[in-house]
Every structure is written in structure tokens, then in C-alpha cells.
Structure 1
Amino acid sequence: MEIQLEYERIRSRTLEDPGTAGDEGEENWAKLLRNWLPGDMQITTKGRILCADGSATNQVDVVALSPIYPNGMVGKKMHLASEVMAIFECKTTLRGEHIERTMESASRTKEMIYRSHGKEVLYGLVAHSHSWGEDRLAAVDKITRKITSAGEIHAQHPNNLLDFVCVADLGTWQAHAEFDEEEYGQHMVTFYSGPPKPDDTLVDKATPPIGGLITYILRRLSYDYKKYQSLSWYFGMAGLSGTSSWSSEHIRYWREFDSVRKHAHLFY
């Protein structure tokens, strides 16, 4: 509700000063992440990711840094890649081109960090609202198709996919990877779970988008940071993992990987 109220306030001023409106949107998300992600993480806005080999990413909107990150460097706008845990691109009103550009940026950035530091990071896209009008079903379908097509174009390794897309007043899409010979044969698959459709029997039990987002981030982080497992489990047991739907037409089969990584070691 707070995010939605902020969206209405920001939207009313967008025409006056689009730059300021965008900055306010980023601060909204940074505040929310500070309040709901583990308290030892450092959340900062604006900056680039700097790898030890000197390469640097384009500017990103919000970054979650590890607990050991030096306080004196948090305000700097070059973030050390070895301590980056998650990256967030923030939009006030989500459009199709935002998904396309963010998928491309996610793939490039994740590959760069892995090449230099051998570590995986989360990369997601968050928005207050969307540009597809009041037809919820149409909006969900268009976002699902856009995420899928953008991934096929820009991500040549499962770990380089955009991990999540959250639209605060619509739903959250979460990346999943599976290997099941009986179900999918000899290939691993990836797909996105998304919000239940209006005619789905699960729609009344759907988790609020932000609750699902925070729980998914915690669950993913807990694979590499064991101290977050208990909080992740609690949120999941309390129902914040929620219910979601996905369509077999959007499953991607991976027969080979075009990357320095030889294996996908994140199955989630």
C-alpha cells in the first residue's frame, strides 16, 4: 500500500521533473529493501560495479552489499564486485523496453562478475506499476512473454537470466531452474513462475507481490549465506512464498551453454 501511494504521488509530478520522479522511485525501493532484507546488508543507490580486473558495469539503480563491506565505501559510487549480493533496476511505470534492456544488462553484468570473481549475484527488475492498463490478464501475459523472449535473446547461460521481476500492483515473476529426466529428458530447463491468472483457483490465495519478492530473495541468498536460512524458512512457512502459475509454453530447454561456466550450479 505504501508503494502504491508513493507511485500516485510520484506519477503526478513526473511531467514536471521526470529525473526527480525516477530518483524518488529508486529511494522508495531502497527504503523497502532496507526495512525487509536482513539488517546486516548494506543497501545503497546509484553507482557502478567495479571488478578487480578494472572492468566496470553501467550504472545500476540499487545495490545490496555484503555485511563486511566497509562503511567508509558505502557512499562511493563504484561498488566492489566481490561484495555485491543483489542488484536492482527500478522503474516507476514498467514498459516492455525496460524488460528487454534489463535482461541484457543482467546477462552482461552477471557474466562479467563471474569471470572476474567466480561468484553469482541476484539481478532483478522492480516497478511501482505498469503501462498495460487495467486488463490484468493481458498485462500478466505480456510481461510473461516479454521476459521469456528477452531471456532467449540475451542470456546464453541459465545463471545469467534476470532473476525476478516485481510489479508492486500486479505480481512477481521468479526464475526457476530444474533438472528432471522423467519430466524434461536429458536437459535442464528454466522458466518463470508468475502471478495466478484471474480465472485460476489460486488467485484468492496469491501472495502480495512484495511479500513474494522478499521471500524469493531470501531463499536465493540463503543458498550461499546460510545465516539467512532460518528467516527464509520462517517467511516460507508463514505463507509468503505464496502461490503462482506458469505455462509449459514458456519453458526453455538448455542443450548447451555459451559461457565460461560449464555447469549451472544454481537449481532453485
Structure 2
Amino acid sequence: MKNPFSKKTKGPKKPLTIEQKISRRNFISFGTFFIVSGAAYGGWKWLYNSPEEVATVTAGARAPLRRALNKTELAFRRVFSNNHLVKTYPKAMAAKNVRHNEDIGSEGKIDVAAWKLQVKKQSGEVLSISLADIKALPKTDIVFDFKCVEGWDQISHWGGVKFSDFIKHFKLDDQTALQYVGLETPNKGYYVGIDMPSAMHPQTLLAYEVNEKPLPPKHGAPLRLIIPVKYGIKNLKRIGTITFSNQRPPDYWAEQGYDYYSGL
């Protein structure tokens, strides 16, 4: 007589069919997708409903996003060094027609002969420097991949004087002990703030040429900033004034919600 309480012996487990395996994988994949999507939507909704930052030098971003951007800047600055060089290319690879994006602050033509760069030291002393004074310094060329925050990039060729050479020649070394450089167009329509290490980077130029020709108005004649370690929004065209400070200088796009540091 069979014991009614005895356990039934199970036979060997049948392996899953290919259709069953595919169904299980699909179930796991779709389940994961919906969980991640739900979390992402929840995060977006939370950020969207967060208060805007209090407008100071930066503005226009949600407060949590601005805090995250500022923390990212600190992380970038801790590892930044002059050994962090942007990749360069042969001149033959440079675009013949360099892309023109915005004219904010540099609209129309300018009298290059009458133009003077105003350099304002923290002490209040102002240097007035002509284009000829700048061209008298050793020239440096760079061919690199210019990157825009909009997502496009282009290999382009620029020529001018290293910002670090400019600082040394005009005996502005004491100003580099400060934390920031501010640059502004002559009409004050466009302005950027640059952290001092990036400004003094060996690839940063005060450029007066593109493709070995004088800058045309649309590319910032007579002098513009070329700073390969930053996105294009920091590469100010038609420089009118340079200042130095320990506080973040005003920055056009940071006031519209963009990252102040904008480093690469």
C-alpha cells in the first residue's frame, strides 16, 4: 500500500524552449525599460517643478540643476592641468569655410585701425593696446575641433598670440593670482567669464587670423578669444575689454541657464 504522505519524486526539469527563453528575455527587458522610464519621468517632473535658481551671475536654470552644474565644475577644476591638451590636426584638415553661428555683441563692421583693447587691472589701471602691439608678439597657430553646445563641431585653423604670452609681455603676471578673467565686446552686448587656469592654458589664444587671413567681421574682427578647452559659447568674438577678479564675472549664456564653466 502506498504511503499517502510520501513525497512524489520529480522528474528532470524540461529545458526551456527557444520561444520561452525569448519571451522571458522580452518580459525582463520591457519590465526594466518601464521601470527606468518611470524613474526618468519622475526625475524630470521633479526637476521641472523645482524652483528656479535665485538670479546672480547665473540665472535661468532650476536650482537643483545649477547646484549639480557647480559641483561638476569643481570636479573638472580639480583634475584640470596644462597637460590636458586638446587634440590638434594638420592644416590641410581645417575647414575652408568656417561656420558662422552668432553675432551677439559683434554685429556690423568695426574700424580696425581705431580699435584698442582695454585691459583693466584690479588696481584700476587701464592699458590701451593696439592690434599692432599684439601682432608684434610671437604668433601661434592652432588647428582643432571647435565644439558648440548645440551639438555641431568643425575642425578650424586660428592664429594669434597665446594668452599666457600676452600676460607675460604686458607685465600682467600679478593679475593671474586672481581667479577669473572677464571679457566683453566693445558694445557690451556679449560677455564671458573664464576661470584663470583655463585662460592661462597653453592652447588659449587671442586670435586675429582664421585660415591665415585677418578675421572677417563675422568671425570677430579684429581680435577674438579662442579657448579650445571650452565650448564655443566661451570663445568671445570682437574683444573690447579684459578684466581680472576673484568673483565670477558676468557671463551672457550663464544668465540664460547654461553652465558657467562650459569645459570640455
- TM-score normalised by structure 1 residue count: 0.25
Q: Between Structure 1 and Structure 2, which shows a larger proportion of helix residues? A: 1
- TM-score normalised by structure 2 residue count: 0.25
